[in-house]
Amino acid sequence: MVRKIALEEHFLSPGLVDYWRPTMTEVAPERGEYFFRNLTDFGELRLQSMDDAGIARSVLSIAGPGVQTERDVATATRRARESNDFLAREIEKRPDRYSGFAHLAMQDARSAADELERCIRELNFCGAMINGHTHGQYLDDAAFNTFWERADELGAAIYLHPADPVAQPSVLSGYKVLMRPMWGWGFETGSHALRLVVGGHFDRFPRSRLMLGHLGETLPFLLWRFDSRAQFHGLKLKKPPSEYIRENVLVTTSGMCSAEPFTCTLAALGQDRVMFGADHPFESAPEAGEFLDQVPLADELRADVAFNNAVKHLGLPNA
């Protein structure tokens, strides 16, 4: 069993439960209490799951949507700060096992930048997780330039996590099973990331580091086509789209325990761009751990995906 650092290890803080329950009631009502119990546990349940998967350290992040659905900006800002303080206190109890991603109220870009800086400098978090758009405003919007400037200054990685789209595509109408985890969330999140690519975000902020779960939300499988169609449409960027994805995007294995897309992603992005993720408790951490332990892979590459790449890119302890 290889030693692992796990990303997309989710939790809930007391003040954010009401934002989470409506989504979970719709997605998996029969498993809501199971998820709630595991999301709010920082002791035996979580640590046992980690041990069973060979996870030495978990980078904890809020189970979405969090405060980004809040309409009152002051309330969102306050609750995000409270959630980050709550997480910091839990990490203090087990600093050998837990690290954290900041939760941010993106309704106010400057306040979000300030909170990101506080979380990095004072709480020793290793980046932030943002749950998709905020009331229809995507991260390529110029209103977020202040936030991205600060993230670049801090060298902070930003994990883009799925969220519901502003409106469900009509092609999914009548097929509720397709609307969220099975297909809709990946389509929404991959499209969000592509807005940053084709909108010139990485020309404006070349040091930006965007993280995507689920082996990159299908982006690594379409690099050639992105470049081909960008050229066809005369897209004016400093580099082909594939180069931004290879240079500015990091991906995790969360929710993808399958050898074929895993090996494709490694080949497309490179062995130092892929990290282990478990998506606990929405997926089985032991299953994810067993997959990485057993998928055919050179030992050095397995260790990089499991542990070393997270240390390198997130500045985590190498122990």
Residue 22: asked if its preceding bond is cis (omega within 30°), the reply is no
List, as one string, the DSSP characters of 200-266: THHHH-TT-EEEESGGGTTGGGGHHHHHHHHHHTT---SS-HHHHHHHHEEEE-TT---HHHHHHHH
pLDDT tens profile 51-92: 999 999 999 999 999 999 999 999 999 999 999 999 999 999
Single out the residue of 185, 181, 215 nearest to residue 288, CA to CA: 215
- For residue 160, the model assigns a pLDDT of 98
Mean pLDDT of all residues in 259-264: 97
DSSP letter at 134? B
pTM score: 0.97
Q: State the residue for tokens 């985890």.
A: 181
Angle between helical axes of 184-198 and 241-248 (0-180°, round to 10): 110
- For residue 23, the model assigns a pLDDT of 83
- Catalytic (active-site) positions: 279
Strand bridging mode 157-161 / 55-62 = unpaired
- For residue 178, the model assigns a pLDDT of 95
- CB-based burial of residue 149 (10 Å sphere; 0-12 exposed, 13-18 middle, 19+ buried)? middle
Instruction: Let me know: does 198 contact 230? Beta carbons within 8 Å.
Output: yes
